[in-house]
Amino acid sequence: METKSSSSDHLAKLKNLLEFLISNLSLLQQQVEQIRKLLQQAEELFRGSLELKNLPELRDFDSLLIYFKNGLEQIDTYLEKTASEPFKTRLQEIYEFLAQKITVSPRTNKILLIEDDPLTARLITHYLKDLKVEITTFTEAEAGLDYLKSDLPDLILLDLILPGMDGFQFLNEVKKDQHIQKIPVIIMSSISGEKEILKALELGAADYITKPFSPRIVNAKIKHYLNFQ
Do both 124 and 19 map to the same domain? no
Q: Which of 101, 126, 150 is the last residue of a domain?
A: 101
Q: Which of 101, 135, 155 is the last residue of a domain?
A: 101
Do both 117 and 171 map to the same domain? yes
Peptide bond into 106 cis (omega under 30): no
Using DSSP, state whether 189 is helix, strand or coil: strand
Do both 118 and 145 map to the same domain? yes
Q: Which of 50, 70, 101 is the last residue of a domain?
A: 101
pLDDT at 93: 83
pLDDT at 2: 44
Using DSSP, state whether 72 is helix, strand or coil: helix
List, as one string, the DSSP characters of 122-134. Answer: HHHHHHTTTS-EE
Average pLDDT per 10 consecutive residues for the chain, totaling 229 residues: 58 78 72 84 87 86 87 81 76 80 70 93 89 93 94 95 95 91 94 94 95 89 82
In the chain, the number of structural domains is 2
Q: What is the rounded CA–CA span in Å between residue 168 and residue 196? A: 9
The boundaries of the domain holding residue 29 are: 4-101
pLDDT at 174: 94
Q: What is the rounded CA–CA span in Å between residue 34 and residue 40? A: 10
Q: What is the rounded CA–CA span in Å between residue 229 and residue 30? A: 38
Do both 91 and 133 map to the same domain? no
Determine the angle formed by the axes of helices 167-175 and 141-148, rounding to 10 degrees.
Answer: 20
